[in-house]
Chains A and B, each alone.
Chain A
Amino acid sequence: MDRPRPYLDYAATTPLDPRVQAAMMACYDARGLVANPASPHRAGALAGEVIDRATEAIRDYLGDPHWQVVWTSGATEADNLAILGTAEALAQRRRGRDRILITATEHAAVTMAARAASRYGFAIERLPVDAMGRLTAEALADALDERVALVSIAPVNNETGVLQAMPVLAPMVRDAGALLHLDAAQSGGRVDAAAAAYDQADMVSLSGHKFYGPKGIGALCLRPSVRVAPQLHGGGQQQGMRSGTLPVPLIAGLGEAFRLADDAAERDRQWSLRDGLLAGLAPLGGVVLNTPAQASPHILSVSFAGVHGAALRAHLDGLDVGFGSACSSHEGASSVLRAMQRPEPLAHATLRLSLGRFTDGSDISEAIDRVGETVERLRRVSPVWRALAGGQDIGALYSTTTPLEVA
């Protein structure tokens, strides 16, 4: 059988880990039944025990047995519950805090939820990042005051993999008296819990399918003292925080996925693969780094100077990767790269190569070959690349003063 084409889009979604799949299938009894954990009979109690084990796995990963875990359909719903739920709850109490801060590079699940929260009277403000996507302590300090109710930060960005300096940033938010929400869709299971500062957060959103679990499940983890107004109403499950019958096999899968969180050895293995990927692409020249040194090991974002983004998308065959723009360049480049002040034409010519637990060296070698061949082919006919190869400055050519780090 032919080897499957390399899949380097783990930041978009991950394969289901076979051990997670086994945990999910173990939920079904000989009748194919998974009972409703709210049912007051033995089968229901058994289903409840599955939920309890998954809850413990999440608490263990986050490093504190006191987290309240609210199961959701995914990280998007968790982000909405965190931001809209907090805004609604605070609005009911009218505490005088009326600002919500989000990093400028947040996922749409956060930015759009924050935008929706403005209906409760909150001003939504985007925290600027530097050219490598980092939220600096200075930028956060400038924005924090006694009116800030909530700050939402993704410890690991979904497009660049940048790992924010959470051990520095999180105490600043707490000292300002604001709530801290972490969208951990990318950091969850991957980075060390201390690096993500989960212990200093008030709310953490987790995703199943971003970390070898099933699609359709996520969680919002809250400190017991945090109040959020429910956004889904119904039978009052989960202490009324999120109504709906619990999807026991999905929850079992999420719990198992986080029980199997990456350890230091797996992170080192991915670092090695990622370093090899960058080392293999760097000789192409004109490879602009969008991922700083302080990053999650699973994402490498690079832009190829002199290459047109739409052509890169059309010509890159045999490799599943993420791109720096939507299907057409006319739809605009990624909001993350624009927040990092990347010129649009360069942002379009961006690949997000994200790897994971099942990536091996041959995937990396093949990716280097395929990307390299495509980039070189497009550059052979590019007047922009000819100018760069002739010594023209990349910043001048792309009309930008943003410092670009070229590998």
Chain B
Amino acid sequence: MVVALDHRDQTGLGVPSDPTGWVSGSAGRIKDDCQAVCWLRSSQGVIRAARFEVFAGADALRAAGWLARWLEGRDIRDARAVTGHWLAQSAAMDAESRAEALCLEDALQAALAALPDKGGGCSS
């Protein structure tokens, strides 16, 4: 699946307006040219909302916004299956942005690990 994304669209990007009830996980460093924070809110094994903060190139911003929208309503187990390679393909990222896709994957996995609701159980 290839998606066309508007680089000005910031849907799914930025800190939640009220972080209460959200968990976050981060990955990357400034000097690695990509730093990302994934914010997730879940209940009953389902991701109810997702957002990303991203310090990276335009392609990574687009892909992060797309991933945030994709995650909403997904089973946590589906989210765990997300890889950078899959994201890069799905969001049609440039070849040179593949490292940033891995950074987004790492942020997502870190946030998933922080969820009290690990999937299949009850939300906190």
Contact = CB atoms under 8 A, between A and B. Distances in A.
A385 B31 CA distance: 15
A399 interface: yes
A399 B31 contact: yes
Interface in B57-91: 57-58, 61
A193 interface: no
A315 B13 contact: no
Contacts, number: 61
Given A344-B31, A383-B37, A384-B30, A314 B57 contact: yes
B10 A381 contact: yes
B30 A329 contact: no
Interface stretch (A23-31, A133-141, A264-272, A305-313): A305-313
Nearest to B10: A381
A380 B53 CA distance: 8
B55 interface: yes
For chain B, what secondary structure do more than half of its interface residues adopt (helix, strand, loop), or is it mixed?
mixed
Interface string A301-339: 000001010110111000000000000111000000000
A397 B30 CA distance: 8
Contact of A380 (B14, B26, B58): B14
A174 B53 CA distance: 56
A343 interface: yes
Contacts of B14: 380-381
B56 interface: yes
B30 A345 contact: yes
A384 B35 contact: yes
Nearest to B15: A386
B61 to A, nearest CB: 6
Contacts of A386: 15, 53
Interface string A256-299: 00000000000000000000000000000000000000000000
Contacts of A399: 30-31
Given A381-B13, A386-B15, A345 B53 contact: no
Given A314-B7, A383-B26, A308 B56 contact: yes
B25 to A, nearest CB: 11
A386 B37 CA distance: 11
For chain A, what secondary structure do more than half of its interface residues adopt (helix, strand, loop), or is it mixed?
helix
A382 B56 CA distance: 8
Interface in A28-78: none
A383 B55 contact: yes
A323 to B, nearest CB: 13
A377 interface: yes
B18 interface: no
A315 B8 contact: yes
A381 B96 contact: no
A240 B13 CA distance: 64
Contacts of A313: 58
A310 B30 contact: no
B93 interface: no
A377 B57 contact: no
Of the candidates A308, A381, A382, A385, the one having the most CB atoms from chain B within 10 angstroms of its own CB is A381
Interface string B30-63: 1101011100000000000000111111100100
B10 A377 contact: yes
Nearest to B56: A308
Contacts of B53: 381-383, 386
A174 B103 CA distance: 55
Nearest to B36: A383
Contacts of A384: 30, 35, 55
Interface in A385-407: 385-386, 397-399
Contacts of A383: 26, 35-37, 53-55
Contact of B57 (A306, A329, A382, A397): A329
B33 to A, nearest CB: 6
Contact of B58 (A306, A314, A343, A398): A314
B65 to A, nearest CB: 9
30 contacts: A308-B33, A308-B55, A308-B56, A310-B57, A310-B58, A313-B58, A314-B57, A314-B58, A315-B8, A328-B96, A329-B33, A329-B57, A330-B96, A343-B31, A344-B31, A345-B30, A345-B31, A345-B33, A377-B8, A380-B10, A381-B10, A381-B14, A383-B26, A383-B53, A383-B54, A384-B30, A384-B35, A384-B55, A385-B55, A399-B30
Interface of B: 7-8, 10, 13-15, 26, 30-31, 33, 35-37, 52-58, 61, 96
Interface of A: 306, 308, 310-311, 313-315, 328-330, 343-345, 377, 380-386, 397-399
Q: Report the 4 A-B pairs with minimum CB-CB distance, sorted nearest first.
A: A314-B58, A310-B57, A381-B13, A383-B53
Given A313-B58, A344-B31, 6 more contacts: A310-B56, A329-B33, A383-B53, A383-B54, A384-B35, A386-B53
